[in-house]
Amino acid sequence: MNLEKLYQQTIMDYNNNEFKYDIKDPTDVERGHNHSCGDDLTLVIKTKGEYILDASFIGTGCAISTASTAMLTSIIKNKKIEYVKELVEIFFEMMKGNAISEDKKNLLEDAAILEITKDMPARIKCSTLSWHSLKIILEKY
C-alpha cells in the first residue's frame, strides 16, 4: 500500500457518521469556517475537571476536513486536557514541517497521516481547520 492509497483509505474510514452525534450539555462549542473550500465544521466538546469526556462535531466539510475532525475527536476523548494541549502542539509542529520524533508523531495516531497535506496549499486549511478550533477552546483551560 503506497502512501497515497493509505491516505485515501484513512480519509474514507473517517467519512462516515459514527463520529457525528449530539452531545448533551457541551461545555465548549467552536465553529471553524474555511472560506476557500467551504468547510463549515463546529467542534463540540464536553469537559469535566481535568478531562475531555466527549468530543464530536456538527456541520459539513470536504472529505479531508471531515476526516481530520473525526480523527481529532477520536483521539482526544477521555484524555487529560493537558495531554490534549500537547497533542495540538505536536500536530501544528508537524504541519509546519518542523522535525518531531516518531514517538511524538505516534501520539497523533491516525491523524499523523494528515502530514501529507502540509505541502498542499489548497488542502492544509482543510486538515487544520478543527485543530485551530480545538486550540481556541483549550486556551480557556
Residues near Zn ion (CB under 5 A):
37, 39, 62, 65, 126
Instruction: For Zn ion, give the closer residue by CB, 20 or 79.
Output: 20
CB of 62 to Zn ion, least distance (A): 3
Nearer to Zn ion, 37 or 136 (CB): 37
d(CA 43, CA 4): 27
Kindly tell me which of 44 and 126 has the beta carbon lying closer to Zn ion: 126
Specify whether the backbone of 46 is left (phi greater than 0), alpha (psi in -120 to 50) or beta: beta
Smallest distance, Zn ion to C-beta of residue 63, A: 8
Cβ atoms of residues 123 and 61 within 8 Å:
no
Helices then strands, counting H and E runs in the chain, come out as: 5, 4
CB atoms within 10 A of CB 16: 10
Task: Supply the minimum distance, in Å, between the C-beta of residue 66 and Zn ion.
Answer: 8
Write down the least CB distance from residue 82 to Zn ion, Å. Answer: 30
| Beta-bridge mates of residue 126 | none
Q: Which is nearer to Zn ion, 62 or 76 (CB)?
A: 62
